[in-house]
Amino acid sequence: MGGQVSAWDYRDKHVDGSIDAQSFVNSMHILIYAAATDVDSSGNITVTPFVPIGAIQGYSWGENRVIEQIFEIGSEIPYTVPGRTTGQLNLSRILINGADLANVLYHASESGLEDIDEENIIRTLRDISKPFHMLFVAFNNPQSGQTADVKYSRVYTNCWINARSESFSANQVLVAENVSIVYETVPRVTISTK
């Protein structure tokens, strides 16, 4: 195996000359959305429109893929076999009066939580019986007078909260809440603004 590279002037050049300050994804231009799902008596699933989730303080996404290495007698070189991929999301949010994160995610709607009847309010993870969908969108930084366009997006389908916590201490004013979310897949979709 051989190769050749050119000399590099690291003092006066960036590695990729096409990148400028506007190229970087900025957390101020990112929105996290949720879409509630509902299952009728016939088993048909309906999905509400995606609604932005406010007061998000932190977001993290990670994936894990098991890689099996199979060896055989008579060789040192393994067969590398990719396994299944799983992923998890973590959201941190400031608790808002009357609208904790679990209820916001599972009952995402423009009208808010006022329309949810008492028996559908989520008090514990045991109350959850259906998935929801999430959307991560990074918008570009538009010039003055222009609207922002989608720069980068990702949809997570059939999400379930698998861990939830709230925490605060005596010297804090605000209550922090955290959820961990597992999802089924990240499909190929194109998101555009209207």
Pairwise CA distance, residues 12 & 28, whole Å? 30
Please, are residues 148 and 39 in contact by the beta-carbon 8 Å criterion?
no
Domain ranges, residue 88: 25-182
Reduced to 3 states (helix: H, G, I; strand: E, B; else coil), residue 49 is coil
**Confidence class of residue 49 from pLDDT cuts 50, 70 and 90?**
confident
189 occurs within a structural domain: no
120 occurs within a structural domain: yes
192 occurs within a structural domain: no
Domain with residue 37: its CATH number is 2.30.110
pTM: 0.84
Question: Of all helices (H) and strands (E), which one includes residue 105?
Answer: helix 101-106
Pairwise CA distance, residues 194 & 191, whole Å? 10
pLDDT tens digit sequence for 57-91? 999 999 999 999 999 999 999 999 999 999 999 99
pLDDT of 12 over the 80 cut:
yes
Please, are residues 147 and 49 in contact by the beta-carbon 8 Å criterion?
no
56 occurs within a structural domain: yes
